[in-house]
Structure 1
C-alpha cells in the first residue's frame, strides 16, 4: 500500500514538474500592428529606446507598468536582463545627459491595454490573464 501511494505521489510530482512555467506577463501591441513575433533583443532595444521604428516604419511607443508591478519586475529581468532599479538608473543617466526619456509608466494593466489600443505603434506588457480587449499578443523569441 505504501509503495502504491509513493508511486502515485511521484507520478503526480513528475507531471507538475513537466508543465512549462507560465510567464507572468504577455507582450501586447495595437491590433493594426502586423508583427506577430518579436525577437527578445529587438524588444529590449525598443524599451530602451534604441530601436525606434517597427518594420513598417511606424514609430515604436513603448509603455511600462509601475516599478512594483510583478509583470514589470519579470519583464525587466526576462527581456532587459536588468533589475527594475538598474533600468531606472539607466534612464536617470540618459535623462541627465539629455539623451532621452523613459517610456511612460502607467498605473495598472488596464491602463496599459487602453494606451496600446489608442496608439498604433504602441507596445506594452501586462500580467497574464488581463483582459486584452482586442490588443494583439506577441510571441517573444
Structure 2
C-alpha cells in the first residue's frame, strides 16, 4: 500500500513540475479568451475573435507542448486531435491550424501578426507576445 502511495505522490509531483503551455496572442490584440474559446478556435468552431477579427491560429508540428495543449485545452489526445482534423479535411469541412516547426517560429509568427494565436511552452514566452492563458 505504501508503494502505491509513494508512486502516486511522485507522479503528481512530477506532473506539477512539468512546464505549462502558454496560449499567446499579439500584444495589440485586446481580446480576452478563456479555455473554452481557445478550444473552439483550435477545433475550428470559432473563426473570429470577440472583436470580429478573423483568427489566424498556429500550432506546433511536434513536441511535448502539442500533447499538453491538446490534452489540457482541447480535451483530446494528440492522436484524437489529428483524427478529428483528418475527418474534417476529408469531408471538406475545415482546415486545421498551421503547424510550425518550433516554438520560436510560433512566437515570431504571433508577434508579427495581429490576428494570430498560438501556444508554446510557458518557459519560452518572450515580451514580443501576450499570454492569454496557461494550462
Please give the TM-score of this superposition, normalised by the length of structure 1. 0.78
Contact 1:24 1:70 in 2 (8 A): no
| Structure 2 residue 107 is matched with structure 1 residue 113 | yes
TM-superposed CA distance for 1:139, in Å, is 2.9
CA contact (8 A) 1:33 1:121 kept: yes
CA RMSD of aligned residues (A): 1.8
Q: 1:40 aligns with which of 35, 42, 50?
A: 35
**1:25 aligns to 2:17 (yes or no):** no
Q: Which runs of 4+ in 1 moved over 6 A?
A: none
How many residue pairs match? The answer is 121
Q: TM-score, normalised by structure 2?
A: 0.82
Rg larger in structure: 1
Distance in 2 between residues matched to 1:122 and 1:25, nearest whole Å:
17
- Residue of structure 1 in register with 2:46 after alignment: 51
C-alpha displacement at 1:49, in angstroms?
Answer: 1.3
